[in-house]
């Protein structure tokens, strides 16, 4: 029996989307190729990176919460030349970690974290082993320059808009392929009727809202739930706190005037979305794409500046939802939608038209193609000359 193809899927928990995309890619690979592949989920930051880089996952909610500072920094770095110089500046500090990452045994590398792109490719050049390297972008529209080393073997993106952004950041067009944003294969299964799902969840058969803040439970979730609870709307509310334990405890301890079901991090999102009529969420790409497969009208309750604002624009421009950042405005939007069945049905159809439920399979097929057609190349490692080491250190 031939040895399975080992694929290192590199991610980090800097936002829930990288892990979700990585896991979906693994699901797609196993569903498509079974025992012929051995995908390995690999967190390079936690495994090898030096402090404080190793703990960026802990700092991400705090950093992204500083909206203007985060947005300004993110925008400044979103230039191919600036991004490359920035990573060159960090290279002396992260070089050893990057080399250890690239020495992990595998047949190909799938990168689902923009901070790895340049260091991983440089590290392979440094050690003289160039394995097939696939970049899987986990942002829906914006393709940040940190993703964009042109020497990648394949560059997979979710949408035609992100295809255009990748070209702007100097990825060769022949390397780019639109595959959709990989999401769990359970979203490819047609949903059951809402009354059936609600009964299975122990809910009444009445208008149901699902409120989410991404994997980290960000975005004023508790305040929005409070506003809906005191609105007088005849609805029931599902609230997903993700990994935000404090938020889950708040939800559990509060007394609610409506039926409210609080969840922490849960694999049951497909069923919870199946039960709902409307989704309220920050503009995280994974949640949005999952909602499309369930024909859910979307109220965008907020976004990370520069990084997610175009996700909100995508939903709005395709008439699949609206932006409403204040709890009171969210309540008024719900009142309007629930009071106008024709409008709600139109929003639902528009949302469903954007769905790509097979995206994980499409991504898996392209990854497998690259891994089996691009050879691993070797060259004799030679110690870097002093001038070359100084060049790396100073980022010139």
Q: What is the DSSP string of 48-76?
A: HPPTTGGGHHHHHHHHHHSHHHHHHHHHH
- Token pair for residue 22? 């990585």
- What pLDDT sits at residue 50? 79
- What pLDDT sits at residue 373? 98
Same domain as 137, residue 217:
no
Query: Which residue would you say has higher pLDDT here, 217 or 133?
Result: 133
pLDDT digits (tens, 9 = 90+) for 283-326: 999 999 999 999 999 999 999 888 899 999 999 999 999 999 99
Reduced DSSP (H G I as helix, E B as strand, rest coil) percent helix, strand, coil of the chain, to 5: 50, 15, 35
Same domain as 365, residue 349:
no
Per cent of the chain over pLDDT 90 is 81
- What pLDDT sits at residue 252? 96
- What pLDDT sits at residue 17? 84
Q: How confident is the model at residue 51 (pLDDT cuts 50, 70, 90)?
A: confident
φ and ψ at residue 2, rounded to 5 degrees: -65, 150
pLDDT at 103 over 70: yes
CATH number assigned to the domain comprising residue 372 = 3.40.50.2000
Provide the mean pLDDT of the chain.
91
- What pLDDT sits at residue 117? 97
pLDDT digits (tens, 9 = 90+) for 250-280: 999 999 999 999 999 999 999 999 999 999 9
Same domain as 270, residue 173:
no
Local structure of residue 284 (DSSP, 8 states): -
What's the structural domain count of the chain?
2
Same domain as 363, residue 349:
no
- What pLDDT sits at residue 381? 61
Same domain as 239, residue 158:
no
pLDDT at 66 over 50: no
Reduced to 3 states (helix: H, G, I; strand: E, B; else coil), residue 7 is: strand
Cα dihedral value 134, 79, 68, 223, nearest 10: -30
Mean pLDDT of 349-353: 98
Query: Which residue would you say has higher pLDDT here, 116 or 390?
Result: 116
329 Cβ contact list (under 8 Å, min separation 6): none
Same domain as 244, residue 119:
no
| Residues β-bridged to residue 322 | 299
Same domain as 364, residue 349:
no
Same domain as 215, residue 106:
no
Same domain as 199, residue 100:
no
Same domain as 161, residue 58:
yes
Same domain as 289, residue 171:
no
Question: Is 177 in contact with 245 (CB distance < 8 Å)?
Answer: no
pLDDT at 155 over 90: yes
Same domain as 320, residue 281:
yes
- What pLDDT sits at residue 187? 97
- What pLDDT sits at residue 396? 46
Domain boundaries, position 170? 5-183+357-394
């Amino acid at each position: 029996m031939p040895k399975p193809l080992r694929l290192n899927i590199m991610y980090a928990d800097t936002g829930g989307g990288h892990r979700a995309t990585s896991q979906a890619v693994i699901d797609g690979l196993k569903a498509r190729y079974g025992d012929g592949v051995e995908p390995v989920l690999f967190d390079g930051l936690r495994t090898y990176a030096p402090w404080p880089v190793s703990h960026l996952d802990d700092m991400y909610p705090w950093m992204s919460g500083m909206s203007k500072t985060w947005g300004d920094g993110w925008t400044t770095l979103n230039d191919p030349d600036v991004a490359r110089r920035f990573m060159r500046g960090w290279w002396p500090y992260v070089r050893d970690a990057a080399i250890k990452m690239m020495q992990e045994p595998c047949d190909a590398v799938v990168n689902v974290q923009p901070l790895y792109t340049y260091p991983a490719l440089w590290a392979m050049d440094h050690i003289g082993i160039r394995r097939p390297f696939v970049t899987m972008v986990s942002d829906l529209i914006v393709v940040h320059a940190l993703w964009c080393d042109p020497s990648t073997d394949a560059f997979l993106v979710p949408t035609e808009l992100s295809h255009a952004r990748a070209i702007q950041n100097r990825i060769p067009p022949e390397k780019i392929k639109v595959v959709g944003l990989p999401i769990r294969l359970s979203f490819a299964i047609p949903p059951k009727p809402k009354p059936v799902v609600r009964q299975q969840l122990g809910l009444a058969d009445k208008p149901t809202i699902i409120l989410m803040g991404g994997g980290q439970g960000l975005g004023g979730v508790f305040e929005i739930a409070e506003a809906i609870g005191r609105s007088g709307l005849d609805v029931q509310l599902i609230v997903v706190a993700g990994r935000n334990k404090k938020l889950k405890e708040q939800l559990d301890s509060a007394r609610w005037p409506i039926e409210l079901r609080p969840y922490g991090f849960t694999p049951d999102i497909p069923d919870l979305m199946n039960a709902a009529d409307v989704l309220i969420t920050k503009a995280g790409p994974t949640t949005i794409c999952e909602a499309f497969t369930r024909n859910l009208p979307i109220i965008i309750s907020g976004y990370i500046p520069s990084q997610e604002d175009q996700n909100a624009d995508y939903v709005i421009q395709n008439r699949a939802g609206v932006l409403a950042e204040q709890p009171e405005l969210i309540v008024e939007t719900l009142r309007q939608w629930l009071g106008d069945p024709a409008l709600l049905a139109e929003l639902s159809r528009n949302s469903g038209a954007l769905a790509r439920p097979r995206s994980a399979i499409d991504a898996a097929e392209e990854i497998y193609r690259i891994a089996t057609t691009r050879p691993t190349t070797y060259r004799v490692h030679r110690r870097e000359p002093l001038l070359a080491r100084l060049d790396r250190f100073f980022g010139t």
